[in-house]
């Protein structure tokens, strides 16, 4: 059947999202065991133990639909952030919040401005609604070029997305730059601040997006339980916005878009202070260790404000690390063929990566000397 005659043309413009290679696939391909994956910015410590225990206790309730209103999690998050419950929207991952935003606000003729390289789903959700994707290159230091993004706004722009800290670069922008950017934007557009990695940010001047939401309706912070809490497999994320925007997204979503177990896990994870503290301190130590080792190996990298690090390891680094049983994220698809994105792993994983990189660099030196 010639489906190209039936499909909406803008769907064919979308480049399908390429997820990181699964460990099992690499092990099958190479006939090895013990491969490690430090490619998808998951929590290397596993899932929050409190979340796991809470889910185990409630497994028997899998026959019941979830609470579509998300009563418990809504109340808990509202109390955590000192916001009104009506400001929250829940989704099947932060991905679904992005999808709901596109579904609600974008259509043919509309423009969506975002930085590039950044999260690969922005063009996917914008093009999926027939809107025009308007990528604005990062600056030389691979930071968001916020003035250039503001300048890219036209009277067709309905949505601007910034990602802070940015994926795949790990770079972040501070409050002064963000405030100037917000001031430069027209009031009548949706400002999406993707803060899926905000929990890891260490800079003291990290923007206060919740204050911005109070002052600028039409702003939303998009967050996730996938990273810090280790619940990526459960698929649960949320948006914080003004109630009017949340009400619009609520109309666009499916009634039971977040599973019962995901909600139970998220509620428990918020209380898992020990796990959160351990994760953050191990991540900070891992970032420091990798920065030191990469420097010693002479591999360029960008300062990271999150749980992964962008390194200029060479065009063949991805493939060659695979042969060492190490999966990192190749960035050729982002126009950075000589870079890889490395999730900060456990201490063992970080050491294994450094050993792998050292082997690559020794092989390159031996090749150069021959």
Residue 157 vs 166, nearer CB to ligand PLP: 166
In sequence order, the β-bridge partners of residue 162 are 193
Residues contacting residue 124 through CB under 8 Å, at least 6 positions apart:
14, 15, 17
* Closest separation in Å from C-beta 325 to ligand PLP: 23
**How far is the C-alpha of 39 from the C-alpha of 37, rounded, in Å?**
6
Strand order in the sheet with 300-301: 300-301, 308-312, 340-343, 329-330
Query: According to the binding rule CB under 6 A, does residue 293 interact with ligand PLP?
Result: no
- The most distant pair of C-alpha atoms in the chain lies apart, rounded to whole Å, by 67
SS3 231: coil
Site for ligand PLP in 235-254 (CB under 6 A): 237
Residue 48 vs 224, nearer CB to ligand PLP: 224
Pull the structure tokens for residue 335.
Answer: 């126009």
DSSP assigned state of 224: E
User: Which of residues 43, 87, 167, 304 is near ligand PLP by CB under 6 A?
Assistant: 167
Site string for ligand PLP, 195-234 (x = CB under 6 A): -x---------------------------x-x-----x--
Site string for ligand PLP, 71-100 (x = CB under 6 A): ----------------------xxx-----
SS3 116: strand
Q: How many CA atoms lie within 13 A of 172 on its CB side?
A: 27
Residues contacting residue 171 through CB under 8 Å, at least 6 positions apart:
138, 141, 142, 143, 144, 165, 302, 303, 304, 305
**How far is the C-alpha of 113 from the C-alpha of 28, rounded, in Å?**
41
User: Which residue is at the shortest CB distance from ligand PLP?
Assistant: 93
* Closest separation in Å from C-beta 253 to ligand PLP: 14
Residue 121 vs 360, nearer CB to ligand PLP: 121
Pull the structure tokens for residue 152.
Answer: 């890219």
* Closest separation in Å from C-beta 245 to ligand PLP: 18
* Closest separation in Å from C-beta 11 to ligand PLP: 21
Residue 149 vs 357, nearer CB to ligand PLP: 149
Site for ligand PLP in 54-73 (CB under 6 A): none
With CB under 6 A as the rule, give the number of residues binding ligand PLP. 13
Residue 234 vs 317, nearer CB to ligand PLP: 234
Query: According to the binding rule CB under 6 A, does residue 164 interact with ligand PLP?
Result: no
C-beta pairs of 3-12 under 8 Å, 24+ apart in sequence: 8/130, 10/108, 10/127, 10/128, 10/129, 10/130, 11/127, 11/128
Residue 186 vs 233, nearer CB to ligand PLP: 233
By CB under 6 A, name the binding residues for ligand PLP: 41, 93-95, 119, 163, 167, 194, 196, 224, 226, 232, 237
């Amino acid at each position: 059947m010639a489906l190209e005659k039936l499909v909406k043309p803008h769907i064919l413009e979308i480049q399908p999202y390429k997820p990181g290679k699964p460990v099992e696939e690499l092990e099958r391909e190479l006939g090895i065991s013990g491969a490690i994956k430090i490619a998808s910015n998951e929590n290397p410590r596993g899932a929050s133990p409190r979340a796991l225990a809470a889910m185990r206790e409630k497994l028997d309730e899998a026959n019941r639909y979830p609470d579509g209103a998300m009563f418990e999690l809504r109340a808990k998050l509202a109390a955590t952030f000192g916001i009104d419950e009506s400001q929250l929207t829940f989704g099947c991952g932060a991905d679904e919040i992005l999808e709901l935003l596109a579904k609600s606000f974008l259509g043919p003729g509309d423009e969506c401005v975002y930085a590039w390289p950044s999260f690969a789903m922005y063009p996917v959700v914008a093009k999926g609604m027939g809107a025009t994707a308007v990528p604005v290159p990062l600056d030389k230091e691979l930071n968001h070029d916020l003035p250039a993004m503001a300048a890219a706004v036209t009277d067709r722009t309905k949505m601007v997305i910034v990602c802070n800290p940015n994926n795949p670069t790990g770079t972040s922008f501070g409050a002064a730059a963000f405030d100037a950017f917000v001031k430069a934007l027209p009031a009548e557009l949706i400002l999406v601040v993707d803060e899926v990695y905000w929990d890891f940010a260490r800079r003291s001047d990290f923007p206060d997006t919740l204050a911005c939401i109070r002052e600028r309706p039409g702003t939303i912070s998009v967050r996730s339980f996938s990273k810090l809490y280790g619940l990526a497999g459960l698929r649960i994320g949320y948006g914080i916005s003004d109630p009017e925007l949340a009400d619009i997204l609520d109309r666009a979503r499916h009634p039971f878009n977040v599973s019962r177990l995901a909600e139970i896990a998220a509620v428990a994870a918020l209380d898992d202070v020990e796990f959160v503290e351990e994760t953050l301190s191990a991540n900070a130590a891992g970032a420091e260790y990798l920065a030191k080792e990469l420097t010693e190996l002479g591999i360029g990298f960008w300062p990271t404000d999150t749980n992964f690090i962008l390194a200029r390891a060479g065009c063949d680094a991805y493939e060659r690390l695979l042969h060492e049983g190490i999966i990192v994220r190749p960035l050729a698809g982002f126009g950075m063929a000589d870079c890889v994105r490395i999730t900060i792993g456990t201490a063992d994983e970080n050491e294994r990566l450094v050993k792998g990189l050292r082997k690559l660099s020794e092989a390159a030196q031996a090749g150069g000397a021959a």
